[in-house]
């Protein structure tokens, strides 16, 4: 199993550009989520999904969209990038419910200029 994979590893965007951060898992996990990690702020939950077709907002959802058309994939879309979205983004997944062990992807380091 590859576990949780994320692409790209690094990305530089200009303000106003859009892009999609990809996340995939091959563990048949139902629960998936996105976090961002910023110095001094720790990891904060952006969006989560409890299964295909079901998504909901976390604590910092503004500026981000998600969808979950398959169990395996949970992309994160930035519609109009802003410098405040410069961060390291992590995708995580767990079997069935988040009370089970959660596994994190390797992260995407995003810089918005």
Partner 1 sequence: GIQVEQSPPDLILQEGANSTLRCNFSDSVNNLQWFHQNPWGQLINLFYIPSGTKQNGRLSATTVATERYSLLYISSSQTTDSGVYFCAVLSNAGGTSYGKLTFGQGTILTVHP
Residues that bind partner 1 (CB under 8 A): 31, 33, 35, 42-43, 45, 48, 50, 56-59, 88, 90, 92, 97-104, 106-107, 109
Residue 73 Cβ, how far from partner 1 at the closest point, in Å? 18
> From the CB of 10, what's the least distance to partner 1, in Å?
11
Cβ-count burial 59-72 (b if 16+ within 10 Å, e if not) = ebbeebebebeebb
Residue with tokens 């961002």: 36
Nearest to partner 1 of 33, 85 (CB atom): 33
Residue with tokens 């409890």: 50
Cβ proximity of 2 and 69 under 8 Å: no
CB of 39 to partner 1, least distance (A): 11
């Amino acid at each position: 199993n590859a576990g949780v994979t994320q692409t790209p590893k690094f990305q530089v965007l200009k303000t106003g550009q859009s892009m999609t951060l990809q996340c995939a898992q091959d563990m048949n996990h139902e629960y998936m989520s996105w976090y961002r990690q910023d110095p001094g702020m720790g990891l904060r939950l952006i969006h989560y999904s409890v299964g295909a077709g079901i998504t909901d907002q976390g604590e910092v959802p503004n500026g981000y969209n998600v969808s979950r058309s398959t169990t395996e994939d949970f992309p994160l879309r930035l519609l109009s990038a802003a410098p405040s979205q410069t961060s390291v983004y992590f995708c995580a997944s767990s079997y069935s419910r988040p009370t089970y062990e959660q596994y994190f992807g390797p992260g995407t380091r995003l810089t918005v200029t």
